[in-house]
Amino acid sequence: MRGRRGGRRRIARFMRMDESADAAAGMPVPASRGKRFLNLCVDLLAFYAFLTVILMMIGVTAPNFMERWKVEKGLAIATNLAIFFLFYVGCEALTLRSPGKLLTRTRVIAFDGGVPSFSQLAFRTLLRQFPFEWLPIFMTDEAGEAGLPIHDRWSGTRVVSIPRDESEA
């Protein structure tokens, strides 16, 4: 019986972090693993919708480009990466939030708690291109804290929950 109960606690801890100490100190509360994973899923869906719209617009305005895009893999990859960069940097530079972060009430901050610079947001987006760079969120350190994805750790940013009483602005 005890084993089952401990397993439930681990699952609950996976879905939410113990926010009491950070919240009591007035510190930003790191987003939970569940929120981070939901951000990833929602952002991917939103990106593919954005990519589809942009490619349809390019197809209407520059059909010759789209014919080349269909047969030249390098051009397709470069176009997709440029649109990916535009999507994430555009969202995060304007609002510090992507579509997933809007849904989960989270936002990007610098490690010092301030607003990240444009270069930090751009570098963060470039780092997202590494395969499996987000896997550390499923690992824990000695203190039981979730790991930071590479795009957070190397860019000096992190994702935090927005308190219910704070304005959405």
* pLDDT per position as a tens digit, 104-133: 999 999 999 899 999 999 999 998 888 877
Residue 128 lies in a domain: yes
How is the beta sheet containing 157-161 ordered, strand by strand?
Answer: 29-30, 157-161, 106-110
Residue 91 lies in a domain: yes
Alpha-carbon gap, residue 49 to 92, rounded angstroms: 17
The domain containing residue 148 runs over which residues? 31-161
Strands 29-30 and 157-161: antiparallel
**Mean pLDDT (whole number) for 131-138:** 75
Structure tokens at 164: 């219910």
Consecutive H or E run containing 43: helix 33-61
Beta-carbon contacts of residue 146 (< 8 Å; ≥ 6 apart): 17, 30, 32, 33, 36, 136, 137, 138, 139, 140
Residue 113 lies in a domain: yes
Q: What is the number of other CB atoms lying within 10 angstroms of the CB of residue 146?
A: 19
Residue 61 lies in a domain: yes
Alpha-carbon gap, residue 104 to 72, rounded angstroms: 38
Residue 14 lies in a domain: no
Phi/psi of residue 167, each to 5°? Answer: -65, 150
DSSP 31: P
- The whole-model pTM stands at 0.75
Q: Give 49-108 pLDDT, tens digit per residue.
A: 999 999 999 999 998 988 998 899 999 999 999 999 999 999 999 999 999 999 999 999
Residue 36: exposure state from Cβ atoms within 10 A (0-12, 13-18, ≥19): buried
pLDDT on residue 151: 87
Residue 16 lies in a domain: no
**Mean pLDDT (whole number) for 20-29:** 59
The domain total for the chain is: 1
Residue 155 lies in a domain: yes
Alpha-carbon gap, residue 63 to 163, rounded angstroms: 47
Residue 37 lies in a domain: yes
